[in-house]
Structure 1
Amino acid sequence: MISTHFFERNLFKQIDNSALVVFRMCFGFLITCEAWGAIATGWVKRVFVEPQFTFNFIGFDFLQPLPGDGMYYYFGLMGIFGVFVMIGLKYRWSMLAYAVMWACVYLMQKSSYNNHYYLLMLLNFIMCFLPASRYASIDVLLKPSFKKISMPRWVLVFIILQLWIVYTYAALAKLYPDWLDSSVPGILMKARADYWLIGDVLQEPWIHKIIAYVGIFFDLLIIPALLYKRTRTFAFVVSIFFHLFNSIIFQIGIFPYLSLAFTLFFFPSELIHRLFLRRKPYYEEEKIIVPPYKNLFIAALSVWFIIQVALPSRHWFFTDNVLWTEEGHRLSWRMMLRSKSGSSSFKIVNKTTGKETYVRKRDYLSPKQLRSINTKPDFIWQFAQRLKEEYAEKGEEIEVYVRARVSVNGRKSQILIDPTVDMAAAPYYHFKHNPWILPSKLD
């Protein structure tokens, strides 16, 4: 039985808040770059403006892009809230606004799905509850009594535990044959053969082996190595190389730099204070401040981490391989683990006349959506529902039959969807296997 004193000492003891203050500035800058960069790089145009509709997370059909140039203004406003977070202006409201807006962005489209986007959604809401603007902020400038040089230790514990879960699951997800024999890194590197200077080197089998095993060991060991004093500096140097490599090779936005910013929480607070906030008084007291809502707080913290541990494990309880079905793939820290290619055709049968027509997918879908609909069962189901709604508006009842073949990690393609099932009438299950996905021959 863990004593009450244990929780009070490890969660509510006050420590210096220099790392959190500096992290807030870095985080605000990075989420601003994420929002405004999405406009500058054309990501908003490709994902929200050009498509006729988006493939939202199932159950969030009400989330669709704003018409016209609305999504440009949407991301522009997000960037402004990011600046407010960085400078600490109305911090909690600004952080909450960004968190809600980013959650809507995340849930309204899956064509550009990325686990890092999910992590950012979690972090946004986490940051809403952290006392990150109690120093070096406009909020303190406007209200000096708001200033504080300490924070409860649970802030540090929370962040480290959350990161540990992310990295551990990322490592465990790589422990399967196609990654261990380095064939998946080899496939991923083929798409980067035209990179200047390093493109040819990236095609070498020994590079693929290094990528495969360094990826596993880095994800598995980086948090313990940063926590341990004797390995911390080495781990930090390795982190810089690892994340810059990922940034250059995989071009995954702010995530590598966000990961580096998190290392602030692993170094002694005295060092962070000395390097970044010398004018700030350093907190050295040994004070424990237990809030009146202690029990509720500990319960909420426990529920949060139970969910964080359970969600990435759920695919083990589904039928068949997650690489094939995609069931349990999202929200699971399964990052860049497979390569899929495929083809699909949609046949519409008019229930009244029996007339059969084949859908010209390009009339409905963007190039990015076309790649997803050929390999992902939930996209296929959603498109069938979309077709059903469109024909219903014209007063026609239809059935939709799909022929889809998919290849996973270069294997021979297999039939993905049962061609005898009317996908317009098929139900979709979130928490169990969808039987219209045919069995795979994957290990």
Structure 2
Amino acid sequence: MIDRFLFKKIDNSPLILFRIFFGILIACECYGAIVTGWVRINLVEPKFTFNFIGFDWLQLFVGNGMYIYFVIMGSLGILIALGYKYRFSMVAFTILWTGVYLLQKTSYNNHYYLLILISFLMIFMPAHRAISLDAKKNTSIKTNTMPNWVKWVIIAQLFIVYTYASLAKLYGDWLDFSFIKLLMQGKANYFLIGEFLQQSSAHKIVAIFGILFDFLIVPALLWKPTRKIAFCFAVFFHLFNSFVFQIGIFPYLSLVFTVFFFDGKTIKNIFFKKKTLYTAKEIETPSYRRIFVIGTSIYFCIQLVLPIRHHFIKDNVLWTEEGHRLSWRMMLRSRSGTIIFKVKDKETGKVETIKTSDYLTKKQTRRIAVYPDFIWQFAQRLKKEYAKKGQNIEVHAVNSRASINGKASVPFIDPQVDLASIPWKPFSHSEWIFPSKEGNK
């Protein structure tokens, strides 16, 4: 039964089309990051970046070299779209993109993480065996089939993403529409819909539609009677998000994923008219069957567990941010706050107030006041900087206050704690974060 489901051969038109669009979107993302100034702001101008904790060695890449880095990634995207040196291009892009993701959190976005996962999965998929330069050069690999698991691995990943995104929205500020109101502020001048977005009725529509769409879109696309209408809703939803929230390639990548919900015949007839349609439905159990079953089981167990880890960490994730990343908690909160760093020389007792602009860009300064891991990392940075001058210091965050979703700001970080001397605890709560107040949960 498992072999029949996983290793049945089906037409590979959806995978081939996905590879082409995926490569194009990768190129647009990477070249666009240079043109729009994203690379300059996040990876060139900063003296250092807030990398994922434990990956400090990636700081070696910060600087003008990141322009070349992104040109290389964009070029790999083109190679992937063309299906040239596919395995190498896919592996190289996955490694390089993962490096960028781990290198900076200042402009964190969930779709950066999704791109890592999909790129990783694509490494193992036979996406270059038709309508590609690889297949043209080496006809022995050419085929119009793919194993059924290719389709269902992608669909399973999407189901996890959308389902967790929907469940995460089931909290107070989303359900009473106050966060949506905050989200729409500043969009009054948008062409045609700006005024509408300020109305309470629009906030209700966006909030309810967001929950229902995320929860139902995958089942609706899977069920043939609702597939076409679900696709139309997907087009509207993702284009709306692209226009209103300007979140890069993510809406278009989400639309490209829908090719896996349509049968190979439909995709072939629209995009690859000259391609031969495969209909035999043979079953070919590969030698890697056992490794595949174990590997995918482990992968999806991790994907199921990561998004719920915050439930096992003390306090509310909206306040502490502990367990927020890698959990599909998309567009759920707005954070603002203030903070002052003071350093104390342990030998002389001299106290100095840090001017953060001497170390951080404007964007980094806005982030550091309200993200605990940023605060801890900055304290460690100060400790190293002063150690170079022969000083052993304490670092304290004083007058630290934070506000979630526009609520009143309240004390955030314990000023008595020496942040330079405490270890980071990635899987448990940091007690130096003050408990959340009722209004900021």
Q: TM-score of the superposition, structure 2-length normalised?
A: 0.98
Counterpart residue number, 1:58 = 53
Asked if the contact 1:189–1:202 (Cα under 8 Å) also holds between the matched residues in 2, the reply is: yes
The Cα shift of 1:312 comes to: 0.2
Q: Residues of 2 paired with 1:253 and 1:95: CA distance?
A: 21
Counterpart residue number, 1:412 = 408
Q: Residues of 2 paired with 1:82 and 1:130: CA distance?
A: 16
Counterpart residue number, 1:3 = none
Secondary structure of the residue aligned to 1:64 is helix
The Cα shift of 1:441 comes to: 1.5
Q: Residues of 1 paired with 2:186 and 2:385: CA distance?
A: 37
Which of 187, 203, 215 is residue 210 of structure 2 equivalent to?
215
Say whether 1:135 aligns with 2:123. Answer: no
Taking the TM superposition and a 5 Å limit, the aligned residue runs for 1:66-77 are 66=61, 68-77=63-72
Q: Residues of 2 paired with 1:229 and 1:146: CA distance?
A: 32
Asked if the contact 2:30–2:71 (Cα under 8 Å) also holds between the matched residues in 1, the reply is: yes
Secondary structure of the residue aligned to 1:284 is coil
Taking the TM superposition and a 5 Å limit, the aligned residue runs for 1:358-437 are 358-403=353-398, 404-437=400-433
Secondary structure of the residue aligned to 1:349 is strand
Q: Residues of 1 paired with 2:302 and 2:63: CA distance?
A: 38
Identity of aligned residues (%): 56
The Cα shift of 1:273 comes to: 1.0
Counterpart residue number, 1:197 = 192
Say whether 1:439 aligns with 2:428. Answer: no
The Cα shift of 1:417 comes to: 0.8
Secondary structure of the residue aligned to 1:15 is strand
Say whether 1:274 aligns with 2:269. Answer: yes
Taking the TM superposition and a 5 Å limit, the aligned residue runs for 1:72-87 are 72-87=67-82
Secondary structure of the residue aligned to 1:346 is strand
Secondary structure of the residue aligned to 1:62 is helix
Taking the TM superposition and a 5 Å limit, the aligned residue runs for 1:21-420 are 21-64=16-59, 66=61, 68-403=63-398, 404-420=400-416
Task: Give the AA of the match of 2:237.
Answer: F
Asked if the contact 1:340–1:407 (Cα under 8 Å) also holds between the matched residues in 2, the reply is: yes
Question: 1:160-208: CA deviations, max 9, x gaps?
Answer: 0000000000000000010001111110110323323332221111111
Say whether 1:9 aligns with 2:4. Answer: yes
Greater shift in the superposed pair: 380-389 or 62-71: 62-71
**Structure 2 alignment gaps of length 5 or more:** none
Q: Residues of 1 paired with 2:198 and 2:63: CA distance?
A: 43
The Cα shift of 1:291 comes to: 1.1
The Cα shift of 1:67 comes to: 5.4
Question: 1:111-131: CA deviations, max 9, x gaps?
Answer: 000001110111111111110
Aligned-CA RMSD value:
0.9
Q: 1:194 to 1:374 in 2, by over 3 A?
A: farther
Secondary structure of the residue aligned to 1:427 is coil
Question: 1:389-438: CA deviations, max 9, x gaps?
Answer: 00001110000010210011122111111111000001110111111111
Q: How many residues align?
A: 438
Asked if the contact 1:38–1:44 (Cα under 8 Å) also holds between the matched residues in 2, the reply is: yes
Asked if the contact 1:103–1:121 (Cα under 8 Å) also holds between the matched residues in 2, the reply is: yes
Task: Give the AA of the match of 2:256.
Answer: A
Task: Give the AA of the match of 1:206.
Answer: S
Question: 1:344-377: CA deviations, max 9, x gaps?
Answer: 0001000011000100011111111111101100
Task: Give the AA of the match of 1:283.
Answer: Y
Asked if the contact 1:342–1:375 (Cα under 8 Å) also holds between the matched residues in 2, the reply is: yes
Asked if the contact 2:16–2:127 (Cα under 8 Å) also holds between the matched residues in 1, the reply is: yes
Task: Give the AA of the match of 1:440.
Answer: S
Q: Residues of 1 paired with 2:283 and 2:179: CA distance?
A: 50
Task: Give the AA of the match of 2:348.
Answer: T
Q: Residues of 2 paired with 1:370 and 1:395: CA distance?
A: 26
Question: 1:265-285: CA deviations, max 9, x gaps?
Answer: 101211111111111111111
Task: Give the AA of the match of 1:376.
Answer: Y
Asked if the contact 1:350–1:356 (Cα under 8 Å) also holds between the matched residues in 2, the reply is: yes
Q: TM-score of the superposition, structure 1-length normalised?
A: 0.98
Asked if the contact 1:54–1:65 (Cα under 8 Å) also holds between the matched residues in 2, the reply is: no
Greater shift in the superposed pair: 404-413 or 215-224: 404-413
Asked if the contact 1:65–1:108 (Cα under 8 Å) also holds between the matched residues in 2, the reply is: no
Task: Give the AA of the match of 1:52.
Answer: K
Q: Residues of 2 paired with 1:437 and 1:35: CA distance?
A: 36
